[in-house]
Structures are given as C-alpha cells and as structure tokens.
Amino acid sequence: MVLYRKMTPDDVEAVHKIELASFPTPWTLDSFHYEMRENPYAHYIVAVADDGYIIGFCGMWVIIDSAQITNVAVVESTRGQGIGEGLMREAIKVAKERGVESLSLEVRVSNIIAQNLYRKLGFQDGGIRKGYYTDNQEDALVMWVNL
C-alpha cells in the first residue's frame, strides 16, 4: 500500500536523493528547500511506502487556472508498480481542487514510458521544445490536458 500526501520541508532530503538518482541534471537541495518554504505556487506530493520511506514525488506550480508539472520521479526499484501514475493522479486531483483548468509538462522525446502514462491520463501532444534538456540537448515534448 502506498500513501500519497503533501510534501513537507522535512521530506526535502529524501526527495532530493530520489531526484539525484533519477535525473542527469538534478535540482539542488536548495531548490527543493526554496520550493517548500518560499515558492507560493509550488505544490508537491510524495509517495510513502508501508515502511515510511518516501519512494516518489511529483511537483507542480499552480498559477491562477493553469499548472505546470515540474518534476516526477520514483525510486528505481519501485518503478513499474503504478506509483508514478498514482502521483500524477494525485497531482491532477490537487490541481482540480485549486481551480486549475489546464495542466502541462515537458518530457524527453526518448521517454516513451512516461509519454504513454501521460497519454493514459488524457494528456495530448502540444509541441516540441528544441534542445530543452541541457545535459544532451535532447528535445522535450510538451504535453497538456484540460481538466
């Protein structure tokens, strides 16, 4: 059983460890502290396993009636178990509760698994951001969904 809940400042270090293991150009620890303490637009959700360990997270910025998913990551050993989908469904629920009408994100053009998940949740292809990822200049696929 996985519990999904709002991220707190106490979760920052665990979330940052997942971030470091998941992305070639990870956000800094200070970035997550800023998100938790100072960014009024930031909303983060964590996935917590039965043993109390954080095994995934999803962040988004909500501005008026639109939201942008900033990052989604799941501990590698727990991938393929629906945790990413659970995080996204929870983010969509939170977005709707805050009056969001549209939700968008960027995903690597090579990340077909994530794209398939987002399409399953109703996201549509919106365009390409050329050279978006700084580690290898890979393009990003912009995806969006009306809520």
> Active-site residues: which are they?
106, 118
Residues whose CB is less than 8 angstroms from the CB of residue 16 and which lie 6 or more positions away in sequence, other chains included: 26, 27, 28, 29, 32
Angstrom CA distances, 102 to 69, 105, 124, 147, stand at: 11, 10, 11, 6
Torsion sign over Cα 133, 120, 76, 14: positive
CA atoms of 143 and 90, how far apart (whole Å): 18
